[in-house]
Amino acid sequence: MRLHLVPHIHRATHRIGLYLADLREHGLSQGEAHVLAQLAAKAPATIRDLHQGLAHKRSTLTSILDRLAERGFITREAGVSDRRTFVITLTARGRQVAREVLDHVIDLERAVARCVTPADINGFQNVIKAVEEEAHRLTARRK
């Protein structure tokens, strides 16, 4: 059987990583850039919010957050109503870099939107959602 989806998703993900590397003055990994972009769009956020938005393994997300905290981009504080929850907040420096990352990603999305129709985007969103859900379902079934 010829693969029609996964190789293209993999290649696109790799290309997005290379695109994000254009922000090399900040020395961000792809994972760090995605976390900052998510925080730029909605911060503060809990670790659960970030996990739901990015689907990283918890240990991977913790490592990314450790690196961002060490570099002074974020702070982590225990939640007020639930001390077991950590709230992630951008620092002033983190807000600046996160906004640059988000703007860079927005530029890519706008460029793509000029190449396709709204119906193409809707169809893509349906397919990518199905890929994500089936990968999650099949992984959960094996555990």
Domain coordinates in residue numbering, the chain: 6-138
- Our separate counts of H helices and E strands in the chain read 6, 3
* CATH code for the structural domain at 6-138: 1.10.10.10
pLDDT by 10s per residue, the chain, length 143: 899 999 999 999 999 999 999 888 888 999 999 999 999 999 899 988 999 889 888 889 999 999 999 999 999 987 677 667 789 999 999 999 999 999 999 999 999 999 999 999 999 999 999 999 999 999 887 76
Separation CA 124–CA 143 (nearest Å): 29
Evaluate whether 34 touches 45 at the Cβ level (below 8 Å): no
For the chain, the distance separating the N- and C-terminal CA atoms, rounded to the nearest angstrom, is: 26
Rounded to whole angstroms, the Cα distance separating 69 from 94 reads 9
C-alpha to C-alpha distance for 23 and 71, rounded to whole angstroms: 16
The span from the CA of 118 to the CA of 143, in Å, is 38
pTM, two decimals, is 0.86
Q: Which residues, including other chains, have CB under 8 Å from residue 54's CB and lie 6 or more apart?
A: 31, 34, 35, 38, 61
- CA–CA dist 90, 68 (Å, integer): 10
